[in-house]
């Protein structure tokens, strides 16, 4: 199942908030729980399905607006491309460097800060030239080194999404789904990323 399917299992529209996911699951779980429907195989299967959907969406559903500040920058269209072609192509979420909170900066030694800057530059180049496996290996290694760094986590999610989109074009559908799901799990509150992943899944449905 893709993201839209999980939402449908809970009777929700794609992009519903975390609080809506939790509320819908509680309601449906009470209705279909095996203890309430002894011997009812259909209810049991429904309960399993909604539980699976809940376990997935609880990790990626966007928090309510009041709870979260989210990034929304995207790569601008290439100036040399025809306007109609640019409009037809999905945009990619841009890998950016943002000013980190003071407490985050204090956690990095000079060597770690240099490592992060060098990795950022290399990641940009790898993504630019579509060397996605190397880009992902690079950012996953950095994420292991700096697991609490929010900026690194954002880069990691974007690398997954870009790789997933590329795999769609290569007709590697199952692998594309895996990386698109990993993208939203890694940075679940980035609305720009969420919108691009939703667009990628719609493209999968239309093409395949």
Q: What is the pLDDT of residue 89?
A: 40
3-state SS string for 23-56: HHHHHHHHHHCCCCCCCCHHHHHHHHHHHHHHHH
The pLDDT, as a whole number, for residue 94 is 63
Give pLDDT, residue 66: 42
Highest mean pLDDT among 26-35, 77-86, 95-104, 108-117 belongs to 26-35
Alpha carbons 88 and 92: distance in angstroms, whole number: 13
| pTM of the predicted structure, to 2 decimals | 0.55
Q: Best-predicted range by mean pLDDT among 67-71, 93-97, 174-178, 202-206?
A: 174-178
Rounded CA-CA distance 24/11 in Å is 7
Q: Which residues of 183-207 are buried (b: 16+ CB within 10 A; e: fewer)?
A: bbebbbbbebbbbbbbebbeebeee
Report pLDDT for 109: 79
pLDDT tens, residue by residue, 52-80: 888 877 766 666 644 443 333 333 333 33
Q: Which domains, and CATH codes, for the chain?
A: 3-57 (1.10.287.110), 69-207 (1.25.40)
Grade residue 99 by pLDDT with cuts at 50, 70 and 90. very low
Q: Which residue has the tokens 């908030």?
A: 17
pLDDT surpassing 50 at residue 47: yes
Share of the chain above pLDDT 90, in %: 41
Give the rounded distance of the alpha carbon of 78 from its chain centre. 24
């Amino acid at each position: 199942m893709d993201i839209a399917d999980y939402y449908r299992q809970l009777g929700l529209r794609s992009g519903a908030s975390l609080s809506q996911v939790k509320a819908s699951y509680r309601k449906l779980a009470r209705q279909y729980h095996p203890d309430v429907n002894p011997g009812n195989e259909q209810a049991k299967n429904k309960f399993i399905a909604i539980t699976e959907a809940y376990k997935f969406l609880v990790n990626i559903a966007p928090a309510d607006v009041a709870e979260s500040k989210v990034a929304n920058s995207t790569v601008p269209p290439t100036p040399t491309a025809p306007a109609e072609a640019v409009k037809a192509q999905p945009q990619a979420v841009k890998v950016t460097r943002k000013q980190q909170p003071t407490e985050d900066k204090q956690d990095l030694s000079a060597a770690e800060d240099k490592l992060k800057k060098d990795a950022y530059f290399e990641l940009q180049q790898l993504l630019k030239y579509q060397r996605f496996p190397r880009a992902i290996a690079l950012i996953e290694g950095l994420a292991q080194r700096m697991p609490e760094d929010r900026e690194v986590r954002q880069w990691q999610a974007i690398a997954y999404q870009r790789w997933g989109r590329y795999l769609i074009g290569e007709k590697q559908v199952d692998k594309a789904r895996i990386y698109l799901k990993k993208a939203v799990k890694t940075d679940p509150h980035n609305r720009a990323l969420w919108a691009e992943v939703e667009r990628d899944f719609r493209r999968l449905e239309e093409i395949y």
